[in-house]
Amino acid sequence: MSVEAREARQPWILLAPAISAVTLLLLVPLIFIVVYSFWLRTATGADQVGFYLDNWQEALTDRFYRDILFSTLRIAAITTIVCALMGYPAAYFIARSRGNKVILLLLLMLPFWISYIIRTMSWINILGVSGALNTLLMSVGIIGEPLNMLYNETTVILGLVHFLLPFMVLNVFVSLDGIDTNLEDAANSLGATKWQSFIQVTLPLSLPGLAAGGLLCFVLGAGTYITPLVLGGPRDAMFANLVFEAIITQLNWPLGSALSLMLLVVLGALVMIYNRYLGMAQLMKGLG
Amino acid sequence: MRWGWQLIRLWSLLVYGFMFLPVAVVVLLSFNASQFGSFPMTGFSFRWFVELWNNDAIMRAFRTSIVLGLLTAVISTTLGVLASLALVRYKVPGANAISTLLIAPILVPEVVLAVALLLFLNFLGLHKSFTLLLFGHVIFTLPFVILVVQARLVSIRRDVEEAAMSLGASPVQTFFQVTLPLMLPAVLAGALFAFTISFDDITGTLFWKPGGVETVPTQIFAMLRNSISPEINALGTVMIVMTVGLPLIGAAIARQLARKSGT
């Protein structure tokens, strides 16, 4: 074999293990559940191989599934907006602070490294019947009986915001930090007020970061089933909970396949739209 | 406009408080002497940490999580480093498509990835097992390793390797004596990332784990079904120390190594 041919083969040898892993453990399984979603789970528990539209008909026409899909998207949207409102000013503060930016950013990223389940359950310590807030309010005498603040949609959103806020802050920070501050100074020297130069210069330039953070918050928020299980009531199930129920509890795997594909299509469409207009590079900046 | 900046500062302070308060309460309650995992504080005690140590189920979950995390880190880092080397060091036709393929596992919602992998491997006859769990953890940590390693790899200059080769080192010698030491911080960062993500995962793990096997997060989740016991808070404190401490130590080591190798 010639030297050139060996040289050309080398990267493929290096790439082969990773590419085969992703192909065998992600791509082929995804194609498999597309096929699987047309099979039928019979009353005996065996799968009937074939081309049945029953699962899809159930997933697409049952009002129960549609309602939960919409409420999942609503919860994810509210979470994303709250993350943006809380995270943008914080990211702006870090990016424009005269102190040690790295330390400030690391500090806010610290909870990101703390276990998701611990952070989620920590809200029970705060809002539970004998939690910090009730204890505080009772000892001050504002309330006589502990309030039931937990296990509703608001606490689910609260838990999600706590989980996803670092993603938002990091992405907005990355794009704010990349803006040349001379641009703002130029706007100011040309007579713009600070507020005007923020609205007309800084904010538009930081929109890609805001969009990247928003996409991550939305997609990760809409795909969760743990937060509703821990912080939600029995009626606060999200779409991923339906998938979990179908697969783990009811063992109706073909239906579970159809439901997970529905979630994939809805969230995948968002990623595609994002990729079409902004490209994946911005999303990767925050991770690298 | 000074008050505008003050307002942003106050707001940021509140955001920091929001992020840290619940975590601080977990740590505080884990030292509570009371037998309920809640307020009021009745005294300072280490008893819940002792109970934790003596709780077989939790210790077993810890061992499972650590073994799983280490294996995941080793496999995922090996695959990720090799792929990153190819993508950064060679002109590969279709490099963009390959990059997208390799980071696809984080673009697919984890629930969907979990379902697809579970059902496909089950179809092939591999039922819920530790192996399935390991496959799952490898596949969704791989993109993170690739992103982290690639970002660091770009900064290593090619001429150092070329110098070694021109001085008579073979490609293999060059890799082990020049490239690998330079890459070490990137490799460690990737491995640490993979370990932490694996150690923390619950979304996929609940789908893949066989009955009777628990990792630390699924164990906590199972214990939450009853009510918050003080042990969970103690376990939370241990997890916080581990997940915050490990990356900090890792970062310190990486910086030390980077300083030594002069990059």
Does the beta-carbon distance from A165 to B19 stay under 8 Å? yes
Domain containing residue B245: CATH number: 1.10.3720.10
Q: Give me the number of domains chain B comprises.
A: 1
Q: Is residue B195 part of a domain?
A: yes
- Look at residue B27 and tell me if it is in a domain: no
Q: With a cut of 60, say whether residue A288 has pLDDT above it.
A: no
Let me know if residue B38 belongs to a domain.
no
Q: Which residue has the higher pLDDT, B125 or A72?
A: A72
Interface test with B, best of A105, A121, A239 (most B CBs within 10 A): A121
Q: Indicate yes or no: CB of A126 within 8 angstroms of CB of B90.
A: no
Domain positions in chain A: 55-285
Q: What is the reported pLDDT for B261?
A: 61
- Interchain pair A240, B146: CB under 8 A: no
Give pLDDT < 50 ranges for chain B. 263
Question: Which chain B residues touch A36 with a CB distance below 8 Å?
Answer: 119, 123
Tens-digit pLDDT profile for residues A232-268? 988 899 999 999 999 999 999 999 999 999 999 999 9
**Is the residue at B142 inside a domain?**
yes
Whether residues A115 and B239 touch (CB distance < 8 A) is answered with yes
Whether A287 has a pLDDT exceeding 60, the answer reads no
Residue B220 domain-assigned (yes or no): yes
Q: Give the minimum alpha-carbon distance from A33 to chain B in angstroms, rounded to a whole number.
A: 6
Q: Is residue A72 within 8 Å of residue A64, measured between CB atoms?
A: no
CB contacts, 8 Å: A29 with chain B: 116-117, 119-121
Whether A256 and chain B come into contact, CB under 8 Å, resolves to yes
How does DSSP classify residue A246?
Answer: I
Which residue on chain B is closest to A193 by alpha carbon? B1
Q: Does A261 touch chain B (CB under 8 A)?
A: yes
CA angle A210/B143/A14 to nearest 5° reads 140
Q: Which of B11, B112, B138, B161 should be substituted to probe chain A, the one whose Cβ sees the most A Cβ atoms within 10 Å?
A: B112
Is the CB of B236 less than 8 angstroms away from the CB of A115? yes
- Parent domain of B178: 55-261
Inter-chain CB proximity A36 and B119 less than 8 Å: yes
Q: Which residues pair with A40 in a beta bridge?
A: A48
Residue B18 covered by a domain: no
Per-residue pLDDT tens digits for A159-190: 999 999 999 999 999 999 888 888 888 888 88
Contacts of A10 in chain B (CB under 8 A): 86, 90
Q: Do B150 and A288 touch (CB under 8 A)?
A: yes
B177/chain A closest Cα distance in angstroms? 19
Q: Which contacts of A106-113 are long-range, i.e. CB under 8 A and separated by 24 or more positions?
A: A107/B16, A108/A166, A108/A169, A108/B15, A108/B16, A108/B19, A109/A166, A109/A169, A109/A170, A110/B19, A110/B20, A110/B244, A111/A162, A111/A166, A111/B19, A111/B20, A111/B23, A112/A166, A112/A167, A112/A170, A113/B196, A113/B243, A113/B244, A113/B247
Q: Let me know the angle formed at the C-alpha of B15 by B11 and B16, rounded to the nearest 5 degrees.
A: 120
pLDDT digits (tens, 9 = 90+) for A89-100: 999 999 988 878
Q: Under CATH, which number does the domain A55-285 receive?
A: 1.10.3720.10
pLDDT at position B226 is 65
Confidence of residue A2 (pLDDT cuts 50, 70, 90): low
Chain A residues with beta carbon closer than 8 angstroms to that of B23: 111, 114, 118-119, 122
B16 in a structural domain: no
Q: Answer yes or no: is B43 within a domain.
A: no
The b/e string for A56-77 (b: 16+ C-beta within 10 A; e otherwise) is beebeeeeebeebbebbbebbe
